[in-house]
Structure 1
Amino acid sequence: MANALNNDGDPGRLVLGVESSCDETAAAVVEDGRRALSSVVASQVRDHAPFGGVVPELASRRHLEAVAPVIRAALAGAGVTLGQISGLAVTQGPGLIGSLLVGLSAAKALAWARDLPIVGVSHLEGHIAALRLMDDPPAPPFAALLVSGGHTSIYHVHDFGQMEELGQTVDDAAGEAYDKVAKLYGLGYPGGVIIDRLAAGGDPTAIQLPRPRLRDGTLDFSFSGLKSAVVRFRQEHIGQNYRIEDLCAGFQEAVVEVLTSKTIAAAKQRGLTRLALAGGVAANQRLRQAMAQAAAAAGMELTAPPVALCTDNAAMIAAAGAIRLRAGLRLALEADAVSRLPRGGRLPGEA
């Protein structure tokens, strides 16, 4: 069966994306880098919830079980066969190395068996590319705040596929801080969703917490100190009466104020009038509200994607992959996964 590449020579026409960087096994089919024909995600939240966080070995085993069924479901959902796919895109990093290897190996096997062009995609670039899948995506250039469980960065997006990092976390990511605070208080996993919900019923001024690096003159973040401040607060108030809703609201307000302030500062420094949110924590309701208010006050336009495009998915990997495939980039079949992006952000094994 001939693949779709033989029809028009466009490797980005119909892309199968595979994502397995952490605890979600995902596959999707995206047309022309802009329209998701299917997006299937097998979540492992129930598997990791008893541990209060992702267990790498368990995550890898679940990916092994799910990757083939998820790919089949994505093809079926799009109403296409593997023979019609024009190219493959797979998350090559950053992420949990064992998890990444499962998705990467599956995608490379398909590429070899079907003689399909394949590209490796940065998980971070994928989150930015998710914005292309919106009905009304932001027009580059714009400043993007990418905030998730493992990453917190601000980018100057010159164009989709061309982004420049302006600031990043020097320790914990914002989502990681949410999960650690939730685990400290036994609130459950994933912590971000739970804290966001509890904070809605709390008073953000009742418990004052620090805003790390808020006015340090850089565009970098640090959330380790804020997490430590919550630990100290808990130790100093053992046996005292305070509402967990107020603690969640105070913690969340500290995180949101730093994220919002630095993103607006980055846009002003680069003379940008458009902002965008990306990543799992972009689903946080307080962050979306605060960013919208700050953008309006600064005379800027904010794009906040739907929640389904914030969390890890393979449609965003396929969207980013379509750009790379059309640019003529290819992943060598001997290329390895990377837990962290090399300096400069270039993935290994790319030509």
Structure 2
Amino acid sequence: MAGVITASEPSWIAPFTGLSPRAFGKLMTVLRREGADAVRKGRPWGLPLEDRALLVAAYWRTNLTMRQLAPRFGVSKSLADRIIDHLGPMLALQPRKRFAKATVLIVDGTLVPTRDHTIAAQSKNYRYSTNHQIVIDADTRLVVVVGRPLPGNRNDCKAWDESGAKAAVGRTLTIADGGYLEEKEAEEKKPYDLEGDPLFRVRAYEAAKDLADRNPLTFTPSGPEQFPEFIQAIIGTFQHAIEESDLWMHLWRDDRFVSERAVQSLFRHTVWHYCRAVGVDMTAEANAGRGPVDFKFVQNWESRALLEIKLASNPYFWHGLTKQTVQYLKSEGIKRMSHVVILASLL
């Protein structure tokens, strides 16, 4: 039909979907894989899948009514409504449930004009709107979480919690504007338990110094060919102290193993004494632009090495071993990297 919006004309795709024709084609492949175009009983759809997806995108993006939208695609109001009800849930964002360790998110609220006054409320733009909390990945700029719609007169700090967006991101580092500070200021502040020291911040240095004093390392690398031996020597000393000495006691709290960060802290304080003695520079959380590596050791340009400490229970263990390791080596221009894997269990 002439004069209607259709995906067969590529110029209509970007304005209503924000996607290139190629990306739109990939989206159609995913929808077909999920059964969006499966043969079903009853009358067939009056539009191909591509046009149906474009109709849903146009409905969401323009906020047009069915009376306004349907003629532009050459269909009836009832068919446009059925298309949105059927295809809308398949196009809806699936919230992320897990985030990588170094992920940084950005959250902000936006007001969406809404005709349903049972949900909407008059907001600062004097229109009936709903408050939507949108969370994106700071690196990819892709939306990862959208909170439940709330009345538009809710401020962002309350909507952040009540919409479920805060629970969805968990403890992942999230950046927000000043409108979210009210929530942080209202939170009850609990002092750190210095006696229990759950994060091993108080006793780490003393335990590490005691280990270094009882297990002195006399090996000093004299050149690049001996530098790997030095790295293996400090790893071996740390391993011996845990498996054959009493250092393991510092890694358990109430029958639970401490966090990976606590193990890294103990290792850092221990190795610092050895590195200082032989003139090796150690940097924790060194970042060459593609994420921080746990430890970087440097004696000179030819004598450099990276080291990662991971708990075997870490859900991202294999990703770190097969993906992050390769990227760290490329970013730093280093050919050698060691991994220390901690496997803890109660006998």
Calculate the TM-score normalised by the size of structure 2.
Answer: 0.24
Calculate the TM-score normalised by the size of structure 1.
Answer: 0.24
The structure that has the greater radius of gyration is 2
